Amino acid sequence: MCWNAARRCAWRAAQNPHRHRRPLRIDATIPPRARSRMEGPTMRARRYRGASMTRRGRLGASILIASLCLAGCGGDRDGYAPSGPEAAWPHYAGDRGGMRYTPATQITPENVNDLEIAWTYQSGDVSDGSDGTSKTSFNATPLLVDDTLVFCTPLNRVIAVDAETGDERWVYDPVQRQTKLPDPHSRVCRGVAYWEAESKAERARTCGRRIFTATLDSELIAVDALTGRACQDFGRDGRVDLREGILDAEPWEYYSTSPPETVNDVVALGALVYDNRRIDAPPGVIRGYDVRTGEQRWSFDAVPPGYAGPPPVEGARYVSGTANAWSILSSDEALDLVFIPTGNAAVDYFAATRQGLDDYSSSVLALRGSTGKLVWNFQMVRVDVWDFDTASQPVLFDHEVEGQIIPALAQATKMGHVFLLDRRTGKPIHGHREISVRTDGVDGEVLSPTQPVPSFIAPLHSTQLRPEDAFGFTFWDRKKCAEAIARYRYDGMFTPPTLAGSIQYPQNAGGINWGSVTIDPERKLLFTNMMRMAAVIQLVPRDEYDALPDKTSHWPHQLQPMHGTPYAARLFPLMSPFGAPCSPPPWGSLVAVDLETGQRVWDVPLGSIRDQAPLPLWLVPGWDALGAPNMGGSIATASGVVFIGATTDRFMRAFDAESGEEIWKFRLPFTANATPMSFRLGPDGRQFVVVAVGGHAWSASGDSLIAFALPDR
């Protein structure tokens, strides 16, 4: 009977092959000003290599047939029959291990083009910077608590809305004090954390279920997950001052943008430390607090054994200039481990003044959740002078090797490397290679003669950039790019910064940034979005820097003082006279890797030059396959759909997980530089895909949370 239903569905689709290409309906909840900026969806499907029916393809077909049977085909114009299990999203990346995967199956590659906007919520927390405050970037990923979505805004307000309607339920406003950051930094809050008491009796009490948020004012705040009221028993009136023990730091030098991480009864977090201002930057200490009282349980100061440098400044608890943890953490409660991606010891582009603080830079650390003690560390870049710090969240999954299940951790890097580690020990599961690199940068530096490279998953970013590789829309701009590539030094990915200027490829944003990787455990696929663009780093002697009449940065050109070193640093993108990257496209990509073999399954352009290049260049053949700069992450569904925003061209996209084919895209009012999330409340509910549409430092600011779903009955 089920198979007959599936055949009827297939027959019905064959009678109307254009059924999935009908226009989407714009929901009435979109305000007129936003609706006028949205375009209807388009569908651009291309075939890429790797689209044949594989073992995973047969799995996808099975899931499709099952979902068709349960849903009564699910393809009628007048609605979709709900089916399938409840799919939750209680953590920033779905689960505490960061897989960015939902077991929901209602939305499939076959019906994704029927998605419509179910609701939109606008917070009003938006600034373009013209009012004297820093511009906002709404990059949050909501959590699902029961039937409520909870998220933070760039003004650090925490908001709860009905998950299926978008109706506001409560708002907590800490009243942000720090409203101005140094350019090009924008005000950001990427997410919040959720904790609930183990006992039913405690969960039923006030603040037995808590939302934790960390702010630009360097506070850790706990609020009741059901009411939004501050938990008075946590710290002082619900707040803990994260600047306690940290002295001699301007407010804009030390603050939080990423969500805390709860592990058992501890809430752990690091902080953003302003880069490249001075060698005695604020400490990058990572701390754990009691989830109930706010009492500090532990701290991990990234000071290696045998350190003989300066002690903490008078009155401070921690050593200045240590590696920090600004990005997203993950945890394994059964192992009592919290996993920390680390930044660099100060400063980024000159190592000789770090005085031995490099050991934990550009690494992933495993700390004991209950004590903060270091269990293991694995360093991806040794003596980092490129700002190749670890931006990606460590992602936990079960990895099968020769019939044995290994608790694994996938750590992506800005270089486009993905290391697979045993998360119990930090040892590479498949080993790694050591490659020889140049060490002749500037006098006084002692750089590492080798760097680690993964051996199982081959590097996803090319290390080749020659004058003949230069891109151009015309012969003239291609020639200019070739001349620029020849002008600066480039000896591969780890070319040291020099006085004459060195090419950095990829640039210091990656590669792979905080969007991290997504893992489909059923298909055993890993997905990641990345950039492939080059920049130039040039060290400027101190006397030349001091003589400059204008020492401000003018984005995207940056001038960074690095006080306490013999040099300042000048950074700028390697661009053509038309403003296009000189490196070969695609400049943005979405990549899939087979976790059984380590082989790349597909690698497709992500985004287009729309909204970045002048309109005439949109007419160049292939303009929509050049890829785009991107920041944000992807998610995967059990039915074989990969969703992602992230790009500069203001589209939300869906890709077929098996083939990499782009199967849906939707024009948004602003860029969606946040990781989406997806949920389904129960067998009678719709599956929703929700994304923050709020811009980035390099794009216009917005304040919309948009939920997509298939049409209701």
At residue 633's C-alpha, the angle toward residues 172 and 461, to 5°, is 150
- Residue 177: count other Cβ atoms within 10 Å of its Cβ: 12
Helices 2-15 and 55-71: crossing angle, nearest 10°?
A: 90
Query: Residue 140: which of 259, 309, 312 has the closest Cα?
Result: 259
Distance CA 672, CA 644 (A): 8
Residue 146 and residue 679 in contact, taking contact as beta carbons nearer than 8 Å: no
In three-state form (DSSP H/G/I as H, E/B as E, the rest C), the secondary structure along 282-340 is: CCCCEEEEECCCCCEEEEECCCCCCCCCCCCCCCCCCCCCCCCCCCCCEEECCCCEEEE
**Is 398 an annotated catalytic residue?**
no
Neighbouring residues of 601: CB distance < 8 A, sequence distance ≥ 6: 50, 525, 592, 593, 594, 660
Radius of gyration of the CA atoms of the chain, in A: 25
Residue 103 and residue 633 in contact, taking contact as beta carbons nearer than 8 Å: no
**354's tokens:** 């770090």
- Residue 371: count other Cβ atoms within 10 Å of its Cβ: 14
Beta partners for residue 99, in sequence order:
none
Distance CA 582, CA 510 (A): 16
In three-state form (DSSP H/G/I as H, E/B as E, the rest C), the secondary structure along 96-147 is: CCCCCEECCCCCCCCCHHHCEEEEEEECCCCCCCCCCCCCEECCCCCEEECC
Beta partners for residue 298, in sequence order:
288
**411's tokens:** 């750590």
C-alpha torsion 98→696→576→590, nearest 10: 30
Distance CA 271, CA 630 (A): 23
| Three-class SS state of 479 | helix
What does residue 288 show for φ and ψ, rounded to 5 degrees?
-120, 135
Residue indicated by tokens 């991480």: 261
| Catalytic annotation, pick one of 224, 348, 358, 387 | 387
Distance CA 139, CA 703 (A): 9
Distance CA 144, CA 48 (A): 35
Strand runs labelled E in 440-576: 450-454, 502-504, 517-520, 525-531, 535-541, 558-560, 567-573
Beta partners for residue 56, in sequence order:
none
What does residue 553 show for φ and ψ, rounded to 5 degrees?
-90, 140
Distance CA 190, CA 205 (A): 28
Q: Which residues are catalytic?
A: 387
